[in-house]
Structure 1
Amino acid sequence: MPPAKASTMRGAAWAVAAVVAGLVVAGSGGDGISAGPGGSSLSRAAPGQAANNQASAVKPGTAKVSVAATAHVLNTGNGRLEAVVPDVGKTVLLIGDSQSEPVDGWPRLGLAAAGYNVYFCGRGGTGYVAANGATGNYVDALQRGDWQLPSGTPALIVVEGGGNDAAGGASNAQIERNAERLIAELRSRYPGTRLAMIGTLARGSNDGGGRRSEVDALLGAVAAANGLPFISTGDWLTRYGLAKDLADAVHMNPQGRTALGGILEHRLRELGLDRKAAAEQGALVAVPAGGSTFQD
């Protein structure tokens, strides 16, 4: 049975089991969802801010920078609650830090402009090694259920980050080890979904990028070793003259988030990671009678 079909059937089975057992919990509506300890919480931008940036980066009616769960179902395979996300087959699961957390964060804007609805899991202050209070680093948070993954098969998974690992003094070995663990966990949980990585936003290495640029390069090597598409952002502030749009040392103001979202969209399309291209690459391929079907 094809992995995507099997995953879909498992998702349906989990939903039925949850309904029968009375375990479906009403989900949260609103602008976006970021899962924290014990459940999900809304992540909202200042009034009017997200709408203005979305309008400049995302064609109206094509995608949503944030989608929320409508309910939760019990995954009987691992005993955790998972989120029921509308149109999960058109949705990207974005795992990230404070660059991705705002409703108008540049990774969300770029992914939405590339055709995806965006479901976010993560929290500012976290990373491959870095944790934030009760929310663990990426792989620990995933395994413990600190935030809730979507049920079914997303169209794409994107992991963004590394900045907090750079700031927190994590070693190359620690970052690499946890990145490998995360990739393995995501591949196990979503065998029918493509996985890509976005690096660490920074100035260029010759313009004060420092450890952030180094972590970006390290994550690029991890992605290459695992055969994953990688979008390096370790010199974007310098390359595109966007240091002027920093709101602080590492985060962008609204204009900078919009500009980076447009650049990210372009790179996603160059790599064939926009939703139309991803759907075509994941299409079922027929084989001669007596064989089976598989996903490329």
Structure 2
Amino acid sequence: MCIRDRGDLAAPANPAALPDGALYRNPANGRDEVIVDNIARTALLIGDSQSEPARSWPRRALAGIGYDVFFCGKGGTGYVASNGTTGNYIDALQRGDWHLPYGFPPLVVIEGGGNDAKQGASDDQIVANAERLIKTIKQRYPGAKLAMVGTLSKSAEHGGGRRTEVDALLGTVAADHGIPFVGVGGWLTRYGLEGELADRVHMNDAGHRALGALLGSRLAALGLGLE
């Protein structure tokens, strides 16, 4: 789902007359999109259950560098992975499982890959769908900065497994498209955060705070803070 999507569809001549959270059918692309009052200060975050909680580490990171956050995504999904009710990132976008914000956010961040690793998606499948998503986002928000955050995991030597591989793969995709990338594969081991896991892959509150600070510093160093 997209946070703040209230499901009320309207298409008046002036979308500025609609309240924050209303749906508006964008005549430029025929998609239903969400009105966001402060779109000029909002980062669009596309992700999975790592990003979904309101106080998640990706959201904390973006808030820490000045942004309000509009989230699109759902737990159990990814570049290829779906959860049975919500499609993977690109399919969910195209068929309206969740709705992008109307207007032009200054930053779009795509996070994920863990569910692709879990569901056994191949490298070719992940790359193909990541490239489809990147193309669509660049077309929809041509003036926005775009960044990618990889797949949170332990190090390869400490059981990171396929999650670590997907993180590296996404880094290659980002590099091929000239997109700033923060690889988070191995971070749980590198920063001693395995003890802050709430389960095998998700953080407790202390872990979210620690990772949010780390990611925020990386994003700021890449020049992605709100100007």
TM above 0.5, one fold?
yes
Aligned to 1:222: 173
Structure 1 match to 2:212: 261
Question: Which residue of structure 2 aligns with residue 112 of structure 1?
Answer: 63
How far apart, in 1, do the equivalents of 2:18 and 2:36 lie? 13
Query: Amino acid of the residue matched to residue 119 of structure 1?
Result: F
CA distance in 1, matches of 2:103, 2:92: 19
Cα deviations by residue, 1:116-154 (Å, 9 ceiling, x for unpaired): 110000000000000112211000111111111001100
Residue 70 of structure 1 and its aligned partner are, at CA, apart by: 2.8
One of 70, 73, 87 as aligned partner of 2:38:
87
Question: Secondary structure at 1:212's aligned position in 2?
Answer: helix
Partner AA of 1:100 in structure 2 = S
Aligned to 2:97: 146
Asked if 1:200 is matched to 2:193, the reply is no
Q: Indicate whether 1:231 and 2:182 are aligned.
A: yes
The CA distance in 1 between the partners of 2:110 and 2:13, in whole Å, is 34
Give ranges in structure 2 of 5+ residues lacking alignment: 1-9
Instruction: Provide the residue aligned with 1:29 in structure 2.
Output: none
Q: Cα offset for 1:251?
A: 0.2
The one of 141, 163, 172 equivalent to 1:212 is 163
Aligned residues: 217
- Tell me the distance in 2 between the aligned counterparts of 1:21 and 1:152: 13
Displacement of 1:21 after TM fit? 9.4
Counterpart residue number, 1:191: 142
Distance 1:75 1:183 in 2: 20
Task: State the AA in 2 paired with 1:160.
Answer: E
Q: Structure 2: how far apart are the matches of 1:150 and 1:241?
A: 36
Write out per-residue CA displacement over residues 9-67 of structure 1, whole angstroms, 9 at most, x where no aligned residue.
Answer: xxxxxxxx922499x876xxxxxxxxxxxxxxxxxxxxxxxxxxxxxxxxxxxxxxxxx
Question: Residues 21, 195 of structure 1: CA spacing in aligned structure 2 closer, same or farther, 3 A cutoff?
Answer: closer
TM-score, length-normalised on structure 2?
0.92
Question: Given the two structures, how large is their TM-score scaled by the length of structure 1?
Answer: 0.71
Please give the root-mean-square deviation of Cα atoms over the aligned residues, in Å.
Answer: 1.6
Opposite residue 120 of structure 1, the aligned amino acid is F
The residue that corresponds to 1:19 in the other structure is 12
Runs of at least 5 residues in structure 1 that lack an aligned partner in the other structure: 1-16, 27-68, 277-296
Residues 86 and 20 of structure 1, relative CA distance in 2, 3 Å threshold = closer
Aligned counterparts of 1:106 and 1:21: Cα–Cα separation in 2: 36
Counterpart of 1:168? 119
Q: Which amino acid aligns with 2:12?
A: V
Measured in 2, the distance between the counterparts of 1:196 and 1:20 equals 33
User: Residue type matched to 2:106 in 1?
Assistant: A
Contact 2:18 2:35 in 1 (8 A): no
- How far has the Cα of 1:270 moved from its partner? 1.0
Structure 1 runs of 4+ with >4 Å offset: none
